[in-house]
């Protein structure tokens, strides 16, 4: 009966419902419910300047505070959301929540840092996407120059609307990076025409950079290419000092990874920003 009532049928779901009835609800429906019932969270992973070590950015990464399963990661959310239009609603929530949080940090007087948001293909396909991002930024009084949108190479395959949205966002001052660079269907000529500001080197090239000559060659080539194209490079998934040293020598601009910090809940980032502000206070 609940099923025939369609989309909004989750309203009848109660946590004490018997297990077999609860199984009626697919992950997708459960996720829609999670969005409506405020179970989604954002964690933020710091990004650092490779030379001076300053905090330069935070990447927002989605989590799900599941009522029975605990804190679930992006792998339990994004693939399900992307298989339906739900990713559009979740994506909008991510923009709204992260911009609100950034505004909160700025209001407290912490040094403004760049905020990176992951964007799915389906969001970028919306003709209004650039306008949506701009309105949310205006609403929270966040300058788009502090925002970086992370898109993947596959997002941009044959997508005039997507490219148009990115052009518009770049015009409005936003930063655009290609996430997981080197793992998708890339086309070198698109680097020439796309309005991008940075490349993120995927963790798969970083992980064995010390002992795999091929991975080292690829990482070095991406960094050299970025320099020629005036793009910033961020290495993802930096876990050891040796990896950081090799990447710094190669000229990589920014580091993100467990060596420095895991993604952290907003309150922990707040504490961290507070401590750094105090430690650099001239008084
Ligand atoms: P991504 O954007 O490439 O994010 C980096 C992922 O690598 C994150 O996983 C992060 O926790 C993980 N990571 C960072 N440093 C290290 C490290 O040193 N070692 C290892 N092993 N892992 C590291 P996470 O949070 O599970 O996210 C996975 C993917 O899900 C993201 O990959 C992104 O593609 C997607 N995603 C996450 N949040 C969102 C979102 O709000 N919207 C959309 N559309 N996609 C999202
Ligand atoms: Mg990313
Ligand atoms: Mg990535
Ligand atoms: Mg990735």
End-to-end CA distance of the chain: 67
Instruction: Report how far apart, in Å, the C-alpha atoms of 233 and of each of 82, 123, 170, 247, 264 are.
Output: 27, 24, 18, 10, 22
- pLDDT class for 71, splitting at 50, 70, 90? very high
Dist. CA 281–CA 130, nearest whole Å: 38
Instruction: Report how far apart, in Å, the C-alpha atoms of 47 and of each of 19, 160, 183, 228, 253 are.
Output: 42, 31, 21, 23, 10
The number of the ligand 1 atom at minimal distance from the alpha carbon of 43 is: 25
Dist. CA 144–CA 264, nearest whole Å: 23
- Whether the full predicted model's pTM is greater than 0.95, yes or no, is no
Q: Looking at per-residue confidence, does 130 or 29 come out higher? A: 130
Q: Rounded mean pLDDT of 118-124?
A: 96
Q: What are phi and psi of 280, to 5 degrees?
A: -105, 0
Q: Which residues form the pocket of ligand 1, taking CB atoms under 6 Å from any ligand atom?
A: 45, 61-62, 73-75, 78, 91, 94, 118-120, 150, 179-180, 203, 236-237, 239, 256-258, 263
pLDDT in tens, 153-199: 888 877 899 999 999 999 999 999 999 998 887 777 778 888 999 99
DSSP 8-state symbol, 198: E
* Nearest-CA residue for atom 19 of ligand 1: 237
Q: Other C-beta atoms within 10 Å of 230: how many?
A: 7
Q: How far is the CA of 283 from the centre of ligand 2 (A)?
A: 37
The number of the ligand 1 atom at minimal distance from the alpha carbon of 150 is: 2
Q: How far is the CA of 179 from the centre of ligand 3 (A)?
A: 5
Q: How far is the CA of 6 from the centre of ligand 1 (A)?
A: 32
* Nearest-CA residue for atom 29 of ligand 1: 74
Q: What is the pLDDT of residue 4?
A: 43
Dist. CA 168–CA 240, nearest whole Å: 38
Dist. CA 42–CA 154, nearest whole Å: 24
Q: Are 89 and 127 in contact (CB under 8 A)?
A: no
Query: β-pairing, 55-66 with 114-118?
Result: parallel
Q: What is the pLDDT of residue 189?
A: 77
* Nearest-CA residue for atom 45 of ligand 1: 118
Instruction: Report how far apart, in Å, the C-alpha atoms of 86 and of each of 78, 201, 223 are.
Output: 10, 28, 36
């Amino acid at each position: 009966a609940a099923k025939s009532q369609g989309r909004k049928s989750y309203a009848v779901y109660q946590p004490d419902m018997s297990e077999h009835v609860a199984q009626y609800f697919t992950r997708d429906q459960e996720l829609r419910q999670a969005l409506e019932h405020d179970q989604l969270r954002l964690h933020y992973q710091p990004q650092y300047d490779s030379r001076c070590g300053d905090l330069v950015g935070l990447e927002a990464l989605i989590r799900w505070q599941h009522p029975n399963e605990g804190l679930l990661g992006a792998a339990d959310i994004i693939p399900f959301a992307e298989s339906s239009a739900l990713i559009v609603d979740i994506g909008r929530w991510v923009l709204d929540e992260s911009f609100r949080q950034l505004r909160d940090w700025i209001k407290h007087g912490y040094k403004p840092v760049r905020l990176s948001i992951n964007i799915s293909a389906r969001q970028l396909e919306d003709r209004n996407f650039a306008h949506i991002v701009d309105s949310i930024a205006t609403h929270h009084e966040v300058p788009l120059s502090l925002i970086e949108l992370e898109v993947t190479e596959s997002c941009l395959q044959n997508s005039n609307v997507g490219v148009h949205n990115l052009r518009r966002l770049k015009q409005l001052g936003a930063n655009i990076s290609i996430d997981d660079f080197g793992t998708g269907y890339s086309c070198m000529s698109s680097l020439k025409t796309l309005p991008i500001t940075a490349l993120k080197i995927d963790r798969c090239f970083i992980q064995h950079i010390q002992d795999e000559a091929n991975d080292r060659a690829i990482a070095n080539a991406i960094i050299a290419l970025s320099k020629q194209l005036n793009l910033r490079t961020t290495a993802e998934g930096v876990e050891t000092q040796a990896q950081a040293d090799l990447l710094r020598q190669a000229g990589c601009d920014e580091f993100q990874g467990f060596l420095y910090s895991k993604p952290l809940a907003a309150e922990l980032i707040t504490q961290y920003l507070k401590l750094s502000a105090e430690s650099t206070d001239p008084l």
